[in-house]
Each structure stands twice: as C-alpha cells, then as structure tokens.
Amino acid sequence: MQRSHVLMLVLGTGWTASQAQTTTPTPQVLDAVRQAIAALPLVPAEGSLLAWARQERLSWSATQNLFEMQLIDPANQFLEWRGLRAESGIFTTVRAALYVKTSQAGLLVLNREWCRLDRCTARTTFGWAGPQGWRAVTEAAVIPLLRDADFFPGPVPACLKGVSLGVSYLPARFGSGLTAVPHAPTAALNACRAAGVDPSVVTRPMQLSWHASAGKFRRLP
C-alpha cells in the first residue's frame, strides 16, 4: 500500500527528507526497528499497525508507508511513527530508541500503543541490535524489579487492590531515560471507571536511566 501523504521528518541533516533517504546511510535506529519488527511474534491480541503488517506479511517499505507521520532523529537514535488504520479505527503510535552500549551495538526499546476511541493498549519489546543482527531479550534482563506498590504515591483504591498492573516503557528522545508507565487490566479499569476512579491519576510513572556499562536500566533515586 503506497500513500503519497506520508510525512517523514529526518532530523540532523541539512537536506529534505526525500534527499536524506537517498543520499545518507540508513539511520542505525531505523535499521534496528526493521530487524525488531521482522522478528515480532504474531500475537492475535495485538491490534497495532505493526502486528497487522506482520499478519499481512507486508514488506518493510509497505509497513513504513502505513504511518502518516514519521519522525526519525538519527543524532539521538530515536524514532516515532503515528498512523491510523481506517478500517478498524485503530490509531497506532510507535516509539523506539537505541540505547548505545558500544560503538556498534545497543539496546533497542520498541514501544507501540494502539488506541480505539478512549481505550488504549501498549506493548514493549527489548532487544540487542548490532553487526551480528537482532537478539530479543526479556524485560527482566534489562529492567530492574518494579513492584505494583511502587506505582502508587498514595493509598491504593479498592478497584486496584490486589490487581497486577501491566507496564509499558516509553523511550526518551533526549538523554538516557526510560519511563515505566503502569496500566490497569481491562476488568480493573472498568471497575475503577464505575467507581469514579481514574487509574492514571492514582498511579504514577517511574523514571529509569540507562547504564551502558551494565547493559541495563536502573531506577532513579
């Protein structure tokens, strides 16, 4: 599927986006995202554009063209795409950053969030990208232990007591930070809404920082 209205911003060069595509090397973060998407498991429950592209076995070029807005910042190893699949009404935001460990390898954090009306779901993939290709790693291998209680700055409301929170990870465009964002499962979210409680208000995100020497993130004090 080709779309002529795709907006691509390639930052850090003195050329237009179309010139940058043809005269500069592929940004490292973009190549890492390509490898990560090619290796994504097919999960029926995921409704993102990336998952749909995998299910339809779209080419890399066709996958990119699904996203109307594409921002690529090679200097900061950051990428953000946004796109709408009109047939389903699902809007997808993809954010990715490459956290450098050596001059040739880094940890890619690829987060995708898909929303329909006011309901959003997010999922994060981690993996090492470098000369030897893509190697997916588990969350536990690079993220410190985060307890549900850590996400509550105050008392836990009744609708969230005993609930295991999901967590997605938003890469930072600048610096070495990563934001851990808690998410209530659907049943708990519905219970909270019925009780007049907004989970996003009673919980808080946590800030993590990349430590290249250790090859993992750590909590900020």
Q: Domain range spanning residue 83?
A: 1-137
| One domain, residues 11 and 116 | yes
The pLDDT of residue 17: 40
The pLDDT of residue 11: 53
> For residues 182 and 112, what is the distance between their CA atoms, to the nearest angstrom?
14
| One domain, residues 96 and 35 | yes
The last residue of one of the domains, among 103, 137, 171, is 137
Q: Which two three-digit tokens encode residue 116?
A: 């329909």
The pLDDT of residue 221: 77
| One domain, residues 218 and 150 | yes
The last residue of one of the domains, among 107, 137, 167, is 137
Tell me the residue ranges of DSSP E strands in the chain. 7-10, 69-73, 78-85, 90-100, 106-116, 119-130, 133-137, 166-171, 177-183, 206-211, 216-219
The model's pLDDT over 91-128, given as tens digits with 9 standing for 90+, comes to 999 999 999 998 788 999 999 999 998 889 999 999 99
The pLDDT of residue 143: 98
State phi, psi for 150 to the nearest 5 degrees: -65, -20
The last residue of one of the domains, among 98, 113, 137, is 137
The pLDDT of residue 19: 38
Instruction: Identify the segments of the chain with pLDDT beneath 70.
Output: 1-25
| One domain, residues 215 and 114 | no
CA distance readout (Å), 111 to 53, 66, 76, 178: 16, 17, 16, 11
The pLDDT of residue 1: 37
Q: Assess contact for 30 and 72: CB atoms under 8 A.
A: yes
| One domain, residues 130 and 177 | no
The pLDDT of residue 103: 79
Q: How many domains does the chain have?
A: 2
